[in-house]
Structure 1
Amino acid sequence: MILNESLTMVRDAVRSFVSEQVAPHAARWDRESTFPAEALRGLAALGCYGVAVPERWGGAGLDYTALAVILEEIAAGDGATSTVVSVNNCPVCSILMAFADDAQKDRWLVPLARGEMLGAFCLTEPHVGSDASALTTTARRETGPDGRVEYVIDGVKQFITSGKHADVAIVMAVTDKAAGKRGISAFLVPTATPGYGVARLEDKVGQHASDTAQIRFENCRVPAANLLGEEGQGYRIALSGLEGGRIGIASQSVGMARAAFEAALRYAKEREAFGTPIFQHQAVQFRLADMATSIEAARQLILHAAALKDAGRPCLKEAAMAKLFASEMAERVCSDAIQVHGGYGYVSDFPVERIWRDVRVCQIYEGTSDIQKILIGRALANEG
């Protein structure tokens, strides 16, 4: 797929901002675990928080192809920053677009898409990852003395991106234990609500500029108006955001891989061994050729999946393929970039070790590589 003129302009605008306001600070953010608030405000001003959200609801009015292109550019500057932006777009904004009523869209979607708020998605629990139907967090419906209906949420959510810095979270909780996955519902929970608490921040291998939190809900009360969709729709709502989310993570993977490749290419052309730049050695050229080819192949898989989604066609298999291939490719490319750098690739003076740490999680969140293979296998079983 070749980018059209308007999409090229979008890409170039984001690339320019990232090169000036994100990439130069990424190493410090990683070292100091600094949340990149100022850079995120700038990205929000460019329309990066609600890329596929219509302008009517505060978004950029673009599509998932544009989102893929934008996330690649942000991730090329800093993987952690791209994760914050990715989650806010999808699943947060995408779920609200699909299931929120107009009042909820006015209150939550518009500021989220504009970047005036930041969203989080609370599905995973300490003992519940890929099996979303096994949730233990509960939401109990109560009528208060004043006659107002509330839901009381209790439970723990794990590995929540932006859990500390988010303004509102989409929370999946069980409203009917006897109904299995049909007893799960979705709620909009402002993080300032009493009973929403950050139990701890995870000490991660990479992506230090993006907080990953354990969230504890204790007698956390939200009005009935904060129910998203209908009771029992939570499982469907949770799954609805995964296709776009997987396209986003695949795009992040390509962006980080590209950054590592470009660093390796520069280094290979500058570093001399045996009287010549190491790029002139065929073994190094072959390694770089494989890296470049893998990145481009992953990018085309992503753009194909995004084009299908933009056309309203099923893309579960294609999104899973894109995430599987891109995330595993990215780790290989980053490892190869370290190898090209030799000993310098293993120290923080050069960016490739940080990118390698940042990209590893792309094979885990939004469904592990094994889950993607299961999804692809199921799709193949139904073909022909």
Structure 2
Amino acid sequence: MTSSAKETWQPEPPALLPPWHTPEREKLQEQARRFAMDEVLPVADELDPQKGEIPASLLARLAELGWFGITVPAEHGGLGLGVFEYCMVSEELARAWMSTASILARSQGLGTAVLDADRRHELLRRSARGDWIGAIALSEPDAGSDLAGVSTRAVLEGDEWVVTGHKRWCGNAKAADFIQVLVRERAAEEGESRSAGLLNLLLEKERGEFPEGLSGSPIDKIGYHGFLTWDLQFDGVRIPRENVIDQAKAAQEDSDADGEAAEQAGFAEAQKFLNTARVHTAARAVGLARAALEDSIRYLQEREQFGHPIADFQALRFTIAEMAAQIEQSRAFYRQVAHLLDLGLPCAKEASMVKLEATEMSVRVTNQAMQLHGGNGYTTERQVERHWRDARLTTIFEGTSEIQKRIISDRLLPRSPLG
């Protein structure tokens, strides 16, 4: 593949700065952009065609920059920044290789919400340093969007949970320091929610190894290379009894609130986690679409037909204009929702909206970029096919577009009692 690290098209700065602009954010964005193009893109160009994994040296650089702890509080060694900065950096990284933006989501305090406060704070410090990078085992062959259908069982035997079952779509499982596993402790009783009896357990492990009782096979994907995605078999895996993940209760433990106020704080923290994941996906989608736009602009200027660069042809120029407008729209939207999250405002509907719009936009734009490249777009000689392959996944993971539509419509149109 041809590298574009030194000749990247840069968008013009906005005439009016948005209300969330700060010099510190501008500096961080520029740092992330330089790093993505100078250090990440060459690695992606080399390893993605081989379906290679992110090298340890690149993970070390991400840790050195502090980006595994962007949202980890400063008192635990993190940068103490917000969802806005987390998504802004992720957009820049996704422009070069989406997997580097995605690996950040497997830290940021993930897998630290254990109930023992000292242990939780220790894990937060490890997360900020980049030596607590995890994986999440939620889905199963028969439970994807409907996680209430999880059947992987956890039985308490003395001081240990014994886990048996089948998980699928677990990215980074073998390379991780831990796996957060959604299990069923008991069946839901009559009158209870179908999700009653579910637990999140923390399985600690060594990088590059599976613990006793756990085996897996990589799933061969068409894109989203950089780390492997696994099909996992749990056959009597043992997890310490205290390794129960509870985002809401951990938030209560760290707050000064008590009673009902503490419960509300805990619920808000758990909801923010879900919303952040959706906005983060939107930011990654924008990064991919921007990559396709930038590569297309360069290609149209290089490619000549009928004695002219094809960038002179009005139909193609108008296509570029439409692509750029859609990208800017989605970027403004994800930054607005990230800003709302940092203010602590409820925005579940908006988080689903931006996830839906940005990811569908990314598919359209990357597909159009392949068309602009003509036959060259259908080869592995150009990066545009990688952008398309990765963008296609964004409409599926972190909740499909159909799931986002359901969330949005349920908030706009409450169901009737007969519905």
Provide TM-score, normalisation by structure 2. 0.84
Tell me if the contact between 1:298 and 1:322 (Cα under 8 Å) persists in the aligned partners: yes
**CA deviation after TM superposition for structure 1 residue 157, in Å:** 1.3
2:45 corresponds to: 27
Structure 2: state its 5+ residue gaps: 1-17, 251-266
2:143 corresponds to: 128
Which of 348, 356, 377 is the matching residue for 2:409? 377
Which of 67, 70, 77 is the matching residue for 1:58? 77
How many aligned positions are there? 372
Q: Distance in 2 between matches of 1:184 and 1:51?
A: 30
Q: Percent identity?
A: 35
Tell me if the contact between 2:248 and 2:270 (Cα under 8 Å) persists in the aligned partners: no
* Counterpart secondary structure, 2:123: helix
Which of 139, 160, 169 is the matching residue for 1:159? 169
The correspondence of residues 238-253 of structure 1 with structure 2, limited to 5 A, is 241-253=273-285
Q: Distance in 2 between matches of 1:230 and 1:171?
A: 14
**CA deviation after TM superposition for structure 1 residue 113, in Å:** 2.5
Tell me if the contact between 1:94 and 1:241 (Cα under 8 Å) persists in the aligned partners: no
In angstroms, what is the RMSD of aligned CA positions?
Answer: 2.2
**CA deviation after TM superposition for structure 1 residue 231, in Å:** 12
2:12 corresponds to: none
Q: Distance in 2 between matches of 1:230 and 1:137?
A: 20
Which of 315, 318, 329 is the matching residue for 2:350? 318
1:80 corresponds to: 99
Tell me if the contact between 1:87 and 1:120 (Cα under 8 Å) persists in the aligned partners: yes
Letter in 2 for 1:261: L
Q: Distance in 1 between matches of 2:138 and 2:205?
A: 15
**CA deviation after TM superposition for structure 1 residue 229, in Å:** 2.8
1:137 corresponds to: 152
Give the 3 Å change call, closer, same or farther, for CA 229–127 of structure 1 in structure 2: same
Structure 1: state its 5+ residue gaps: 144-148
The correspondence of residues 1-384 of structure 1 with structure 2, limited to 5 A, is 1=18, 3-36=21-54, 37-89=56-108, 93=109, 96=112, 100-143=115-158, 149-179=159-189, 180-192=194-206, 194-195=211-212, 197-229=214-246, 241-381=273-413
* Counterpart secondary structure, 1:181: coil
* Counterpart secondary structure, 1:165: coil
1:146 corresponds to: none
| Higher deviation after alignment, 33-42 or 286-295 | 33-42
**CA deviation after TM superposition for structure 1 residue 161, in Å:** 1.4
> When you count helix as a share of all residues, which structure comes out higher?
1
Tell me if the contact between 1:123 and 1:238 (Cα under 8 Å) persists in the aligned partners: no
**CA deviation after TM superposition for structure 1 residue 325, in Å:** 0.6
Tell me if the contact between 1:49 and 1:115 (Cα under 8 Å) persists in the aligned partners: yes
Q: Distance in 1 between matches of 2:359 and 2:212?
A: 36
Tell me if the contact between 1:47 and 1:60 (Cα under 8 Å) persists in the aligned partners: yes
* Counterpart secondary structure, 1:225: coil
**CA deviation after TM superposition for structure 1 residue 240, in Å:** 5.7
**CA deviation after TM superposition for structure 1 residue 126, in Å:** 1.3
* Counterpart secondary structure, 1:358: helix
Q: Distance in 2 between matches of 1:12 and 1:84?
A: 20
Letter in 1 for 2:204: P
Q: Distance in 2 between matches of 1:206 and 1:304?
A: 29
**CA deviation after TM superposition for structure 1 residue 109, in Å:** 2.6
**CA deviation after TM superposition for structure 1 residue 101, in Å:** 3.8
Tell me if the contact between 1:260 and 1:352 (Cα under 8 Å) persists in the aligned partners: yes
**CA deviation after TM superposition for structure 1 residue 127, in Å:** 1.0
Letter in 1 for 2:165: G
Q: Deviations over 1:233-257 (max 9, x none)?
A: 9xx8986632111111111100011
Q: Deviations over 1:152-195 (max 9, x none)?
A: 11112110111121111111111121343121111111134733
Q: Deviations over 1:194-248 (max 9, x none)?
A: 3353411110010121211112222111112211239999xx8986632111111
Q: Deviations over 1:114-149 (max 9, x none)?
A: 201211111111110001111101111111xxxxx1
Give the 3 Å change call, closer, same or farther, for CA 51–230 of structure 1 in structure 2: closer
Give the 3 Å change call, closer, same or farther, for CA 331–11 of structure 1 in structure 2: same
Q: Distance in 2 between matches of 1:25 and 1:232?
A: 41
Give the 3 Å change call, closer, same or farther, for CA 58–225 of structure 1 in structure 2: farther
| Higher deviation after alignment, 39-48 or 346-355 | 39-48
* Counterpart secondary structure, 1:130: coil
| Higher deviation after alignment, 220-229 or 309-318 | 220-229
Q: Distance in 1 between matches of 2:80 and 2:378?
A: 42
Tell me if the contact between 1:182 and 1:232 (Cα under 8 Å) persists in the aligned partners: no
Q: Deviations over 1:307-348 (max 9, x none)?
A: 111111111111111111111110111111111111111111
Give the 3 Å change call, closer, same or farther, for CA 30–230 of structure 1 in structure 2: closer
